[in-house]
Amino acid sequence: MQVEVSKYTEGLADKALRPNGLPKSLIRYDARQKDQALDSMTEVVQTMKRPRSHARAASIGAPGVEGVKIDAVPAKSGDRQDELEAYKKAESINHNIGRRGKSVSAAGVVEQPIFEPEIVMTKDIERTDSWERAERERDIRQGIDLATTLERIEKNFVITDPRLPDNPIIFASDSFLELTEFTREEILGRNCRFLQGPETDQNTVSMIRNAIREQREITVQLINYTKSGKKFWNLFHLQPMRDQKGELQYFIGVQLDGSGHVEPLLNRLSETTELESAKIVKATAENVDEAVRELPDANLRPEDLWAIHSQPVFPLPHKKDSPSWVAIQKITARGETIGLNHFKPIRPLGCGDTGSVHLVELKDTGELFAMKAMEKSTMLNRNKVHRACIEREIISHLDHPFLPTLYTSFQTPSHVCLITDFCPGGELFGVLDKQPMKLFKEDSARFYAAEVLIGLEYLHCLGVIYRDLKPENILIHQDGHVILTDFDLSFLTSCKPQVIKHPLPKNRRRSRSQPPPTFVAEPVSQSNSFVGTEEYIAPEIITGVGHSSAIDWWALGIFLYEMLYGRTPFRGKNRKKTFSNILHKDLTFPSSIPVSLAARQLIHALLNKDPASRLGSTSGSNEIKKHPFFKDINWPLIRCMSPPPLEVPIEFIGRNTKAKEVKWEDDGVLVNSIDLF
């Protein structure tokens, strides 16, 4: 397998290190290329193992769709209309799918749509062996992190680090490379002087140098040169970026090619063009500033990168008296700092994209926990340090029965570790996989979807966009209820709770039938990272237009579909085809599997390709809770519900009395590998 990497590698900057031992380059592009090569190799292997199934999968995909670009570059605004044609087509035939559309109340809350007893888009779909084979291909179900928000900003800009000698470039956008004709390896680690040429005004260059020395922003226009010697008028904006302490962290340099707007007599950009362009470059700099803050400061000491994992964890109200917390607090009350030697390894529970999970026992207590261990070097090489830190921050805020509790976290020389609840029921994926036809009956699907909905509602209230909902990330507790796990791909922002009061009709008094106020709490900011799990990713993540918490409602629709039909609706023969299906393919339901009209209508409303029209986009979980599919759910008492019986009961796991004795190595990994079951 060969991959051309010269455009992407850091070049000399790959081996150039900062005084703290970390690379100068802000993004490790070699990791990106390795992941892409592995994906391509996996696709080839799968095709050779099952050529007929892949051929059939291709034949039943979206007709007339060649595929979509799946790298970090978002679609242009003009292409957005084409990507939503499937949505518009579906909406134009509402009478055939049993919907009359939504109505909006005076309070701005979407009221429940009126449903008619027609069948929603059922279709006789060939059951390929991808539906029936026992072996589930878990490799394509790993969470992917194709690009950070920073990498998806389609503007000309660079980031430099003034704390390093000569203020070198540590990041360059793809658009900047296209404009200047240089490769990334040619400019990372260099100063921006390579853009200067014979007609570059040195007085303007001096103004830029003075601004750098004085740590202030400046906007100028000057002549610069591409690699081939072609000159262009550059409207250049320099903006300092400061950390939380107000100390200078980076410089952001935004370029705008204004060659087509030069006034011949003045030999410079017109005043009007300069003013309008200045607004654009300043707005770009603000977007870059916000995106860079998602990443750790490249100049931190290595020990500071992981400092959050050494911070103490305190019990939150709902579980502070649980046996697990009592056992933990007995140790901390003695003044001890909990670390790896306080735990005895029992057995491995699994491994994911960023680490492995072990069942451990707090020594001399009998209390069992799950320990997630992530290797530091892997996190660094794969641009995931900020992901690990975000997960630690998010999980420390959680205090909900359907979400994990963080009891402690610590680090070893090579690993960072999180100690959370042990869920003996394992992954919901495994439970689903053992059922006949790998699907649930509707009562079970409704139960699990309702609990996941409540978990997402709580996360959104905290300002967390989950971004990686799938059966693999849903664990089953001893009581049969769910726990949502894995927050390394989540986005943490602020949340502005609001109470929407329903206005009284004119000339009428308040009556008992008057609906109570609606509490709405959804994250307020958007992100543009390219993350998620391939089959669950929402259209707006692929197109790069920015995404909000509505992507979690899309994922809820995919999740419900998979529970009821045994597969996801848009899966293609490879990632490119899957993304093409998500953008363009109409949603259909196999007629061979009996599913209620209400379930299909809910899935259809959640899988709206337009996020603004998606169920849940206006007033969050309240819209979804009111859907007829959930009419039998008593939401306030959902914790008291007994899980519906499954055709194949859940096998709860625990200690393996026949397993060999295992112990930790000094760096925090298991000495002897033992089987999962």
pLDDT digits (tens, 9 = 90+) for 263-295: 776 677 777 888 888 999 999 999 999 888 888
Residue 671: CB atoms within 10 A of its CB come to 11
d(CA 97, CA 597): 10
136 in helix, strand or coil? coil
Reading the block at residue 44, the tokens are: 């080839």
Given a contact cutoff of 8 angstroms between Cβ atoms, the answer to whether 285 and 239 are in contact is yes
Q: Count of residues for the chain? A: 677
For the stretch 85-94, pLDDT in tens is: 433 333 333 3
**Percent of the chain with pLDDT strictly greater than 70:** 75
- Positive or negative, the Cα torsion across 566, 572, 575, 579? negative
Given a contact cutoff of 8 angstroms between Cβ atoms, the answer to whether 444 and 632 are in contact is no
Report whether pLDDT(137) > 90. no
The reported pLDDT for the residue numbered 503 is: 73
Reading the block at residue 428, the tokens are: 């919901």
The reported pLDDT for the residue numbered 156 is: 94
Which residue of the set 421, 468, 488, 552 is catalytic? 468
Q: Classify domain 304-421 at the CATH topology level.
A: Phosphorylase Kinase; domain 1 (3.30.200)
418 in helix, strand or coil? strand
Report whether pLDDT(42) > 80. no
Query: What does the DSSP 8-state code read for residue 44?
Result: H
Q: Which residue has the tokens 């109505």?
A: 103
Report whether pLDDT(132) > 50. no
Largest CA distance in the chain: 88
The reported pLDDT for the residue numbered 48 is: 66
Task: Give the architecture-level CATH label for domain 5-36+148-294.
Answer: 2-Layer Sandwich (3.30)
Report whether pLDDT(430) > 80. yes
**Mean pLDDT throughout 406-427?**
95
- For residues 322-353, b (16+ Cβ closer than 10 Å) or e, as one string? eebbebbeebeeeeeebebebbbbbbbbeebb
d(CA 300, CA 304): 6
More confident position, 259 or 474: 474
Beta strands, E only, 209-276: 218-225, 231-242, 248-257, 262-263, 268-269
More confident position, 669 or 253: 253
Given a contact cutoff of 8 angstroms between Cβ atoms, the answer to whether 444 and 480 are in contact is no
Can 201 be counted among the known catalytic residues?
A: no
Report whether pLDDT(58) > 90. no
The reported pLDDT for the residue numbered 427 is: 95
The reported pLDDT for the residue numbered 378 is: 87
d(CA 463, CA 239): 29
Annotated binding site for ATP: 372
Reading the block at residue 530, the tokens are: 């390219």
For the stretch 608-659, pLDDT in tens is: 999 999 999 988 999 999 999 999 999 999 999 999 999 999 999 877 655 5
Report whether pLDDT(8) > 50. no
Annotated binding site: 372
The reported pLDDT for the residue numbered 112 is: 45
The reported pLDDT for the residue numbered 312 is: 94
The reported pLDDT for the residue numbered 351 is: 80
**Average pLDDT of every residue of the chain:** 81
**Percent of the chain with pLDDT strictly greater than 90:** 55
Listed by start position, the domains of the chain span 5-36+148-294, 304-421, 430-505+513-640
Query: What does the DSSP 8-state code read for residue 375?
Result: E
Given a contact cutoff of 8 angstroms between Cβ atoms, the answer to whether 544 and 551 are in contact is no
Whether 304-421 and 430-505+513-640 share one fold: the answer is no
Looking at the DSSP bridge assignments, the partners of residue 400 are none
Query: Confidence band (pLDDT; 50, 70, 90) for 15?
Result: low
Reading the block at residue 305, the tokens are: 């990168």
Q: Classify domain 430-505+513-640 at the CATH topology level.
A: Transferase(Phosphotransferase); domain 1 (1.10.510)
585 in helix, strand or coil? coil
Question: How large is the angle between the packed helices 597-606 and 550-565, nearest 10 degrees?
Answer: 150
For the stretch 469-497, pLDDT in tens is: 999 999 999 999 999 999 999 999 988 88
Reading the block at residue 105, the tokens are: 């109340």
d(CA 238, CA 208): 8
- For residue 606, the surrounding DSSP H or E stretch is helix 597-606
Reading the block at residue 467, the tokens are: 């971004």
For the stretch 154-195, pLDDT in tens is: 899 999 999 888 899 999 999 999 999 999 889 998 888 889
| Candidate ranges 69-78, 151-160, 524-533, 663-672; pick with highest mean pLDDT | 151-160
